[in-house]
Chains A and B, each alone.
Chain A
Amino acid sequence: QQQVKQSPQSLIVQKGGISIINCAYENTAFDYFPWYQQFPGKGPALLIAIRPDVSEKKEGRFTISFNKSAKQFSLHIMDSQPGDSATYFCAARRGSTLGRLYFGRGTQLTVWP
């Protein structure tokens, strides 16, 4: 059973546009929600992360919106650039389960000029 459900599977956005990727979870014990970016042939790299005590976190062009009651969180990429083209994974972790991250299935983002 997929602990974290991610959509869409693929996304095509024009340069300068907003990319939005959504994730949902069921386990209310999750208390850490990171987003990872992965380029072909590379390992995932942490992009931004949030804890459930805040509803939004912004770092540069990247923003996480978190809705605790709906058990949903999303990644917004503002002013999307061709260099943002990659696969994005949301993930979640329970504080009681040291280290184990549950990943979504990923969203392949293509930003075309």
Chain B
Amino acid sequence: SQQGEEDPQALSIQEGENATMNCSYKTSINNLQWYRQNSGRGLVHLILIRSNEREKHSGRLRVTLDTSKKSSSLLITASRAADTASYFCATVGSSNTGKLIFGQGTTLQVKP
């Protein structure tokens, strides 16, 4: 079963705009990770945020984590057509066994 939900399920924006995706989860976590998937192929790791962190940046990516609300958001700034993909959040439980539990994903389309 999935850990939580992602919102929105689909997002369409113009190149240069910012894209924000949200993820909610149900149980206590050790960390939360965001992945990108192009055309139903392998997943690419984007960023990991630990339960004691509130915000993390990597290039054009900004991730926030609110453990009190059991939610996270991924912001992609100045989006490009190449950012078109599905984005998944995945959590690792507080026992930190390495098992990833994924959300349903957000499909992002960036129009040139």
A binds B: no
